[in-house]
Structure 1
Amino acid sequence: MRTNWDDFRFFLAVARHGTLTLAAAQLGVDHATVSRRIAALEENIKTKLFHRSPQGYALSDAGLKMLPIAEQVESDAMRAIDELSDKRSDLSGPVRIGAHEGVASFLLAEGAAELCRLHPQLEVQLITVPRNFSLSKREADFVITGSRPQTGRVKIRKIASYALHIYGAQSYLDNHAEIIARRDLKRVRGIGYIPDMIFDKELDYIPSVDPSLKAHLTATSLHVQVQLAVDGAGVCILPDYIAKDHANLIPILPDEVEIKRDLWLTIHEDLAHLTRVRTVADFITKDVQQRLKARA
């Protein structure tokens, strides 16, 4: 019986993604190649590692036993490569960061650009798809979220806290009833996220102000919400670090209504030791802290 690292690499891709198509996309090959390599691996060890069905590939009992072994091989391989590359003076290779759109746009973008300037061979990839990311499936090297993860083989650090207030453009406020108390918010048009498409509960801000309130102009994109507020379409709950970039946005009831949120950085244990991932995570953490402090 003979196996090599590629056998484990193909096995892990299918185990994490559950389909040949997604595994092939990650590996940069066609799905027929993945199918052939998995079949050859199973034939080599005389054991079925997956249950096949129209829905995809599910790990068999043997596959479940194989998974931690393959992950350890992967981790050892990455550590060996990392230690060898440490002999070079500069960082290189990809680092993929998953984050909310607002965090990526307003807090990470400039820092990512600075990292690439400092390390020309480094590839910083920002993923802002509106959903949660799976570190176990290697969808990202680390993620920055508003919710603190509860489980998994991960290392977690709190980056910082930040405040949110209700904001509206002066042009909108001039043409609507004066807002002097929370009850007056029911008389203005609210801007916010589409309720049934909020993927992180920490982004559901409105109930923190008043559970009876409802936004009547909604979008999945924070960029769109900001633009609607700037254009005078209504009032919107926004992080201060975003609103302060727009001179025409006025805080509403700032002493009465304030929401606090935290930012968390989460990284899989198998990646935390990699120099390029650790360096990027440390840089981003300090950079975000400085940006939030400057805009507080």
Structure 2
Amino acid sequence: MKNWDDLRLFLAVAREESLSGAGKALRLDPATLGRRMARLEKDMQAALFVKSPQGYALTQAGEKLFERAGAVEQAMRSTAIEETAHSETLSGQIRLGAPDGCANFLLPQVCAAIGRENPALDIQIVALPRVFNLTRREADMAIGVSAPTAGRLVVRQVSEYRLHLAASEEYLNAHGPIPDLETLKSHPMVGYIPDMIFDRELDYLADLGAGRVALASNSVSVQLNMLRQSAGVGVVHDFSLPFAPGVRRILTEEVSLTRAFYLIRHVDDAKNQRLARFADLMAAGLKAEVARLEALSTEHERP
């Protein structure tokens, strides 16, 4: 096995699949990185990457080295945190991937609370509307809206959450009440961009038989702001409504959706007590925050 510095650079290129991406992550010039990879391939006497205009893809030899280097990286992480694993507070850096609805409306409160109790801990929230690749270490753990069935992952359901149709008071005052689903068909719909829905659990409008989406975004935060601007009717998370005064639920008896958040970790981190403690804090905080905000959303509708 080569020295750790070579492996560290190799892992970055393999994960980013490009010299430029790895160079940004490492703060290293891509040309220098390219020379280091060429030297590593010469030392290994094997091609580790297939280079193309699309980027760097691992060869079979590269995949084998990626596995071995990943194991070394994990061993070094475990060694580094061994002395502090049982300390009263958490420290270091933890990166959490999450869909943007969860990242915008739930995680700021949850992570702020964890941070106050663990002042030496750096928490990074990566909000992206897609599934995170934990194998390539895009994050230490991720929150998903469905339980993955493939990959070496540990998955736990954290909390269910509810969604309903909603529109702004201004929109409803201007266009009249929407008493049933048949009437709903004559109103412009706000929702996801159909070909950018990354998880079947998010295809709410298809389940309702809705056709054209007049205003669409891959971000639920943007969708909610469209509703606040009286753009039409859409499906919203109940936990987001306290952040959108003037938007209220409609047809709650006819349409009530339930989904769940899952906390996803790589199986290699199962014995990492530091990440396990953070995962427990995150799961408990997320569940409590969903319950708190959903209760607020119904309280605001009471006359």
What are the within-5 Å matches in structure 2 for residues 1-296 of structure 1? 3-86=2-85, 89-209=88-208, 211-294=209-292, 295-296=294-295
Q: Is the 8 A contact 1:164 1:259 kept in 2?
A: yes
| Structure 2 SS opposite 1:84 | coil
Counterpart Cα distance in 2 of 1:139 and 1:253:
40
Moved more, 63-72 or 249-258: 63-72
Q: Deviations over 1:14-62 (max 9, x none)?
A: 2222211122222232222322222222232333322333333232332
Q: Is the 8 A contact 2:97 2:139 kept in 1?
A: yes
Cα deviation, residue 95, structure 1: 0.9
Counterpart Cα distance in 2 of 1:193 and 1:55:
28
| Structure 2 SS opposite 1:167 | strand
| Structure 2 SS opposite 1:187 | coil
TM-score with structure 2 setting the length: 0.89
| Structure 2 SS opposite 1:10 | helix
Q: Deviations over 1:152-179 (max 9, x none)?
A: 1111111111111111222221222432
Q: Deviations over 1:166-224 (max 9, x none)?
A: 11222221222432221110122222122223233322211122x24332122333222
Counterpart Cα distance in 1 of 2:210 and 2:217:
19
Cα deviation, residue 88, structure 1: 5.3
Q: Is the 8 A contact 1:155 1:268 kept in 2?
A: yes
Q: Is the 8 A contact 1:154 1:267 kept in 2?
A: yes
Q: Is the 8 A contact 1:167 1:243 kept in 2?
A: no
Moved more, 116-125 or 45-54: 45-54
Counterpart Cα distance in 1 of 2:43 and 2:241:
60
| Structure 2 SS opposite 1:115 | helix
Counterpart Cα distance in 1 of 2:24 and 2:77:
20
Q: Is the 8 A contact 2:95 2:139 kept in 1?
A: yes
Structure 2 unaligned blocks of 5 or more: 296-303
Report the identity percentage.
38
Q: Is the 8 A contact 2:156 2:262 kept in 1?
A: yes
Counterpart Cα distance in 2 of 1:248 and 1:171:
8
Letter in 2 for 1:127: V
Q: Is the 8 A contact 2:85 2:274 kept in 1?
A: no
Q: Deviations over 1:221-246 (max 9, x none)?
A: 32222223233332221111112444
Cα deviation, residue 10, structure 1: 1.8
Q: Is the alpha carbon distance of 1:46 and 1:246 closer, same or farther for their aligned partners in structure 2, counting shifts above 3 Å?
A: closer
Letter in 2 for 1:170: E
Letter in 2 for 1:100: P
Moved over 6 A (4+): none
Counterpart Cα distance in 2 of 1:97 and 1:20:
24
Give aligned pairs, total. Answer: 294
Counterpart Cα distance in 2 of 1:129 and 1:274:
25
Letter in 1 for 2:116: R
TM-score with structure 1 setting the length: 0.91
Counterpart Cα distance in 1 of 2:20 and 2:229:
43
Equivalent residue, structure 1, for 2:300: none
| Structure 2 SS opposite 1:270 | helix
Q: Deviations over 1:236-266 (max 9, x none)?
A: 2111111244453332111111111111111
